[in-house]
Amino acid sequence: MLRLGRREFEAHEPVIMAIVNRTPDSFYDQGATFRDEPALARVEQAVSEGAAIIDIGGVKAGPGEEVTAEEEARRTVDFVAEVRRRFPDVIISVDTWRHEVGEAVCEVGADLLNDAWGGVDPRLAEVAGRYGVGLVCTHAGETQPRTRPHRIAYDDVMADILRVTVGLAERAVSVGVARESVLIDPGHDFGKNTRHSLEATRRLGEMVDTGWPVLVSLSNKDFVGETLDRPVKERVVGTLATTAVSAWLGAQVYRVHEVAETRQVLDMVASIAGHRPPAVARRGLA
């Protein structure tokens, strides 16, 4: 059982986390949801298309202009409060590695802290425990926030992913985070080259076998672009293919830009796996 906010999800129930970037320089949408009204419209659309979680981020993941904790909070805190007011049942996640920002967003209604940088600030898990919210524990290859990997190497990339994420998850529980509210994420592209991310996908079942719910953030990432030699705006098909494989291997939460398309992929895989009946079944019966 995965429990986030007011919601509970069974083991085979796929969950969509829609990305809403409060940044002027995001790699995919180039600041389309930096202002409040477009961002709120994005939330409304994502919820209507089947997203259970809204993931709000105030800092671009890649290199760029410095964003202080104060500026990150300015971009996210009031917005979280407004989303909480307008959508009382949606699960609100905030993508941050800073405990100061985590505390501020929890004060106004966040349900989940998405730590994409592998516990670089250990106090973030303590904030999650103190406020009774969930935590995403990610493998980032010990890279620092907003840096790109350079000639990074692993003897066994999945062994390192398991060591780090399970260790972070167990620590989170030790500081008060509910076990059923902790997720682990292999961290595609974070501290990895394309071959590492492909191997992490291929071996995703090993993460699922740990018993911790697995979140994957695949959407339009560089490993998809390099694998298919496609620019950012032409990576949707590759993303959806990777989503289908991840779903078949047992990942539960999917952080995405394209909600409606992802919903169809996840429903199709769930039906093939026998976890979901067809929406209609008339063929050969009329």
- Are 117 and 59 a contacting pair, CB within 8 Å? no
> 92: which 2 tokens?
């609100």
- Measured CA angle at 35 (ends 32, 37), to 5 deg: 100
55 membership: H or E segment, kind and range: strand 53-57
Give the alpha-carbon dihedral of 207, 26, 19, 29, to 10 degrees.
Answer: -120
Can you say how many angstroms the Cα of residue 161 is from the centroid of all Cα atoms in its chain? 16
Choice among 123, 221, 263, 282 that is catalytic:
221
8 Å CB contact between 2 and 183: yes
SS3 247: helix
Strands (E), 58-141: 91-95, 112-115, 134-138
CB 157 within 8 A of CB 199: yes
* Residue of 255, 263, 282, 283 marked catalytic: 255
Instruction: Answer yes or no: 221 catalytic.
Output: yes
Question: Nearest-CA neighbor of 247 among 205, 199, 196?
Answer: 205
Q: How far is CA 59 from each of CA 22, 76, 95, rounded to the nearest angstrom?
A: 7, 10, 8
60 is catalytic: no
Sheet holding 182-185, edge to edge: 182-185, 134-138, 112-115, 91-95, 53-57, 15-21, 253-256, 215-217
Sign of CA dihedral 250, 224, 182, 264: negative
> Which amino acids are annotated catalytic?
221, 255
